[in-house]
Structure 1
Amino acid sequence: MESRPRILVVEDDPRLAAMLGELLGSEGYDVVTAHDGQRGLHLGLTEAFDVAVLDRGLPVVDGMGVLSGWRDAGVLTPVLILSALGTATDRVEGLDGGAEDYLVKPFDIDELLARLRVLRRRLSATVPVVRFPGGRLDADGRTVTLDGGADIPLSERESALLERLARRPEQVFSRDDLLATVFAAADDPGVVDTYVHHLRRKLGRGAVDTVRGVGYRLGRGS
């Protein structure tokens, strides 16, 4: 079963947030909503999303502060800023601050959906070879090539788990997040631990790091 793409909507207007949640949910997204910048920052740092929609005029932490916090922590989730601040200077500031796209309120719903599809296509079209400490993964061929030259085949789930971690090397993924995004057909969180064990057995203990009380991230090396 293919998992639904996860989208984070950070919007303080409750009516607009509810409308976006309903709209995006009907388009097949798994929607998570935050109504202030602090909550949005926390969610973006602790959970994995395929794309994010971010307002600028947020309480507690403004949108540019949220975006800066994500990028400084190595979170590479594609971000579309959705804001009433629409001058050329505003748009340039948002894009230079790390956003992939910028849409001004009021907006056309079809245009918003099209732009989100473009961001997701860009993400899925990234080079399928990703590096990790000690080697590189060919995600298409599900093969790891170690720096010493050995090729190690991986199962589909092992490859998907390593790719998920390697695409966002600074991010810590909870078991629940990995269960939802990598093991969509499973209902036992223990399957995550099992496949982490498989990867460590094949690639060395340094391939995956455990962050106690939080989850897993790409390893820093053996």
Structure 2
Amino acid sequence: MTTQRKNSPNAARRSDASRRAILTAAFDLVQEVGYAKLSIEGIAARAGVGKQTIYRWWPSKGTVLFDAFLMFSEGPDGEPAALPDTGDLEADLKTVLRATVAELNDPRYDEPMRALATEIAHDPELAAAYAERLDGPMKELKKRRLRGAQRAGQLAEDLDLDVAVEMVWGPLLNRWLQRSGPLTPEYADSVVATALNGLRPRRPGH
């Protein structure tokens, strides 16, 4: 009993070290060889573990890459960072969207994110994991910031926050995914201004 208690912390540390090595290997390799050539065998060789070690924790290379992306993109406490709230909604959204532009343009993230987008479109289980562990929590943070703006009288009380989130963040992701135009800070600012100002002409006194 004493021997097991002494060994278990070391075993846990080895397990965590192996997981991090696997995720780091997957994240690095997909940038070097592309997703099509990424393989469990290649990840295992780079990480210095056996294939069965990987399959014990992940069923596919897509799920490995998803966890790798989470490890490299989450905050230090493992949770996504809250959106800034300075009281100036437009300035805060521009700050967030400019940071999104920088991330989407970062070569370290471009290939992993495009690979994940492709896999999510074809793998229902991975899509469900993405919705539960990343997209859902991020949407809640975005809606929380917009809800605060509603309470401050900066947005309409009857605004559909789900639609509002899609209107603000959707154009950036669509332009990035389809490579339909330059993804710049100026474009991010324009998206925020257009979304907040609305599309209809303002009536006098409104």
Structure 1 and Structure 2 fold alike (TM over 0.5): no
Q: Give the structure-2-normalised TM-score.
A: 0.24
Q: Which gives a bigger RCO, structure 1 or 2 (Cα 8 Å, sep 6+)?
A: 2
Structure with the largest fraction of helix = 2
Structure ID, larger Rg: 2
Q: Give the structure-1-normalised TM-score.
A: 0.23
Structure with the largest fraction of strand = 1
